[in-house]
Structure 1
Amino acid sequence: MFGILHVVLPVFLVTGAGYAAVRTGVFAPSAVDGLMVFTQTFAIPCLLFRAIADLDLGAVFDPRLLLSFYTGAVTTFVLGILGARRIFGRRPGEAVAIGFCALFSNLVLIGLPIMERAYGVDALAPSFAIISIHAPFCYLLGITVMEFARADGRGLVDTGRAVIRAMFRNALMIGLALGFVVNLGGIPVPATLRVAVDMLAGASLPAALFGLGGILTRYVIRASLAEAGMIAALSLLVHPAIAWMLARQVFGLPEEFVRAAVLAAAMAPGVNTYVFASMYGRAQAQAASAVLLATGLSIVTVSFWLVVLGGVL
């Protein structure tokens, strides 16, 4: 058990340090904004570019791996919408925003550091396969369902344009796309450029975790605690349980693929869920509460899933 805590706690301690630094006034909120712009626009795109450019695509892009993760993601998305509608009486657009919280996991900021600490840097390849289509898949699904669900939704053509705009304005997507271009095209990366990319990539995750803690100070758990609890249960328990069942019991995937699918699925909702809710002006309080509550609870639930998976370094 000490080994599990040794894996999980440092990740959340860095996040907690960012939270405490902002709460006590040592680190200004404006500095958090600058830090997150650096990580989201420059450092993490370099990390994703390097990972995809160097990835053995044939070895890790196993449809069964992707099915294990994304079947669970879609299931929790649907259950989140149904729960919001049937249990909490939310309007269609609000229900989709709540469902999106259960759909979009924080794979990069928390998932990658925990995976690396638990199983080593060589175990990250299957995780990058999942991450490479995560944002496009989730935004495509979320925006499409939202546009058809809300009363003031756009038509099919405008919806397609909204999806494309969301993709091409996202620096993470640009980093992934360039990585695929280099990988598939066999394009050599000059050594000097490679060193620069490595320097930015090396700074990405610690800085992003610290910044995430600062961002979490802006969220509060309001009267939407019950809905946030539902989202947390779907994200932290239901999604990884489905991924575990499919990856191990149904598909019999290699252990490194099982670990990647389950740990990715076990992550709390990412800050992008609040961005999505704000984009449509629906269920922002529920999204903010879910991000804060689920991130806190994930200290316990991620530890549980690491025990289930076993073999921690």
Structure 2
Amino acid sequence: MLSVLTVTVPVFVLIGAGYVAVWKGLFSQPNVDGLMVFTQRFAIPCLLFLAMARLDLAAGFDWRLLTAYYSGSLICFAAGILGTLFWLKRGPEDAVAVGFAAMFANTVLLGLPIAERAYGTESLTPNYAIIAMHAAFCYLVGVTAMEIVQAGGSGFRRGVRNVGLSLARNSLMIGVMLGLLLNLSGLPLPALLEEPIQLVASAALPAALFGLGGVLVQYKPEGDWRGISLCIGIALVLHPVATYAVGKSLDLPEGAFRAAVLTAAMAPGVNSYLFAAMHGRAVRISASAVLIGTAASVLTVSIWLLILG
């Protein structure tokens, strides 16, 4: 157990340092905003660009890996909707927002550093394959469902178009797509470009973890505690369990299996709150699930690392 904690605790200590720094006024909220702009628009896109440019596409995009992870995501989305409708007794729009929060794992800011510390940089190929599709998949599912319940399906095409435009302008997706294009082209990346991009990328995860802690100060643990518990339970327990079961049934290779399950075990990402705020539904549940889920995942992720070995 001690060896597992040496993997997880440093990641969460860095998040906690950012939280305390902003909470105590040692690092202002505008400073956090600037740090997150740097990480989200520059450093992490550089990291993803290099990862995709170097990715073994045949090994990374294994249909069994993607099926195991994203079938788990869909199960969580459905569970969030059903739990909200029949247990919380709330409307369908709230149900979609809770389902989205339960399905949208923090694959980059938590998933990458924990997997890297646990299994090494060379193990991250399956993680990057999941990340390449993650935002597009989750937003397409979430927006489609929300448009259907809000407009009886009449807003479906508009919603999909808006998602497409948003993803096309998203710095992380731009980094992914440019890296994939370079990979497919077979052209080498000149050292004069690769080295400065690598320097920026090396700052991505530590800076983003500290910034994530500062961002979480804004989210207060308030709202429907049953709803928060439902969302966190689905995200931290059902998602990895479902992915584990599907991965086993498909005989997923060990490295890909560990990557899929561990990524599925991550807490809800900040995009969960952004989706809820965009539609004005279940905002407090989503915000609280991000904050409390991140704290609770110190324990749950450690347990999954013990299970996975």
CA contact (8 A) 1:270 1:291 kept: yes
Q: Which amino acid aligns with 1:41?
A: R
Q: Which amino acid aligns with 1:68?
A: A
CA contact (8 A) 1:72 1:240 kept: yes
Q: Which amino acid aligns with 2:306?
A: V
Aligned-partner Cα distance in 1 for 2:33–2:152? 32
Q: Output one character per residue of 1:145-178: Cα deviation in whole Å (capped at 9) or x when no partner.
A: 1111124875233122112122112111111010
Q: Output one character per residue of 1:68-95: Cα deviation in whole Å (capped at 9) or x when no partner.
A: 1001100000110111111112221111
Give the aligned CA root-mean-square deviation in angstroms: 1.1
CA contact (8 A) 1:47 1:198 kept: yes
Secondary structure of 1:302's counterpart equals helix
Secondary structure of 2:189's counterpart equals coil
Partner of 1:306: 305
How far 1:283 moved relative to its partner?
A: 1.2
Q: Is 1:279 aligned with 2:242?
A: no
Aligned-partner Cα distance in 1 for 2:126–2:239? 17
Q: How does 1:1-313 map to 2 (within 5 A)?
A: 1-151=1-151, 155-248=155-248, 250-310=249-309
Secondary structure of 1:252's counterpart equals coil
CA contact (8 A) 1:224 1:289 kept: no
Aligned-partner Cα distance in 1 for 2:65–2:151? 36
Aligned-partner Cα distance in 1 for 2:38–2:79? 35
How far 1:13 moved relative to its partner?
A: 0.2
Aligned-partner Cα distance in 1 for 2:221–2:151? 28
CA contact (8 A) 1:236 1:268 kept: yes
Aligned-partner Cα distance in 2 for 1:205–1:70? 24
Runs of 4+ in 1 over 2 A off after TM superposition: 151-157
Secondary structure of 1:27's counterpart equals coil
Q: Which amino acid aligns with 1:309?
A: L
Aligned-partner Cα distance in 2 for 1:14–1:153? 44
Secondary structure of 2:252's counterpart equals coil
Q: Percent identity among equivalent residues? A: 51
Aligned-partner Cα distance in 2 for 1:74–1:25? 40
Q: Output one character per residue of 1:44-79: Cα deviation in whole Å (capped at 9) or x when no partner.
A: 011001000000001121100111100110000011
- Please list every run of 5 or more consecutive structure 2 residues that lacks an aligned counterpart in the other structure: none
Secondary structure of 2:269's counterpart equals coil
Q: Output one character per residue of 1:116-155: Cα deviation in whole Å (capped at 9) or x when no partner.
A: 0000111111111111100110111111111111248752
- Count of residues paired in the alignment: 309
Aligned-partner Cα distance in 1 for 2:285–2:264? 20
Aligned-partner Cα distance in 1 for 2:275–2:169? 14
Q: Output one character per residue of 1:213-264: Cα deviation in whole Å (capped at 9) or x when no partner.
A: 000000011132211111111111111011111212x111211111100000
- Please list every run of 5 or more consecutive structure 1 residues that lacks an aligned counterpart in the other structure: none
Aligned-partner Cα distance in 1 for 2:120–2:154? 45
How far 1:306 moved relative to its partner?
A: 0.4
Q: Which amino acid aligns with 1:278?
A: A
Q: 1:58 to 1:298 in 2, by over 3 A?
A: same
Secondary structure of 2:261's counterpart equals helix
Aligned-partner Cα distance in 1 for 2:11–2:185? 36
Taking structure 2 as the reference length, what is the TM-score of the superposition?
Answer: 0.98
Aligned-partner Cα distance in 2 for 1:11–1:288? 21
Secondary structure of 1:150's counterpart equals helix
